[in-house]
Amino acid sequence: MSQTLNGRKIRALVTVLGLDQHEAGALAVSRMLRDAGIEVIYIGRFTLPETIAEVAFQEDVDVVGISAHSWEFLYYARELADLLGAEDLPIPTVVGGSIVTEADRLQALEAGITEVVLAGATEQEIVEAFVRLADPEARRALKTADR
């Protein structure tokens, strides 16, 4: 089964932000997305917002997924959201991880992260979040919300 939008596969970039070295979650999500028919660009660990945004725009991805196993993602959340929102069609960002609390979720959303998936989310919920946010109408709504 292939997840498509406007005749092309949905493309997702998956990475681990900053000094967080725990990539098992990112690899698991990459597999889930691939199994669901989403094309995945995995750029590994130790990435910074500038690199994530550069690769996301070069690869023409529809959504970015950040695997978090430390709270460092909160430090970079605003910068990442600003960089990915700078183009005419913003790229939504999904953050997920076993350590993310409800308070972290609210802080990340306030900083501009599009969606936060908490521990215990099912594979179906994770895939559905990526598919929903990849839709161009959902992406355009992000730009409208910023104005």
Q: Which domains does the chain have, with CATH numbers?
A: 4-142 (3.40.50.280)
Q: What is the pLDDT of residue 52?
A: 96
Closest CA to 101 of 74, 62, 133: 74
Per DSSP, the three-state class of 36 is coil
What Cα–Cα distance (Å) separates residue 139 from each residue in 22, 79, 94, 108, 143? 29, 18, 13, 18, 7
pLDDT in tens, 110-136: 999 999 999 899 999 999 999 999 998
Number of H helices, E strands in the chain: 6, 7
**Which two structure tokens, joined as six digits, stand for 55?**
């690769």
pLDDT in tens, 46-91: 999 999 999 999 999 999 999 988 778 889 999 999 999 988 888 9
CA–CA dist 79, 56 (Å, integer)? 14
Average pLDDT score over residue span 97-102: 87
Return phi, psi of residue 111, to 5°: -80, -10
* Reported pTM: 0.91
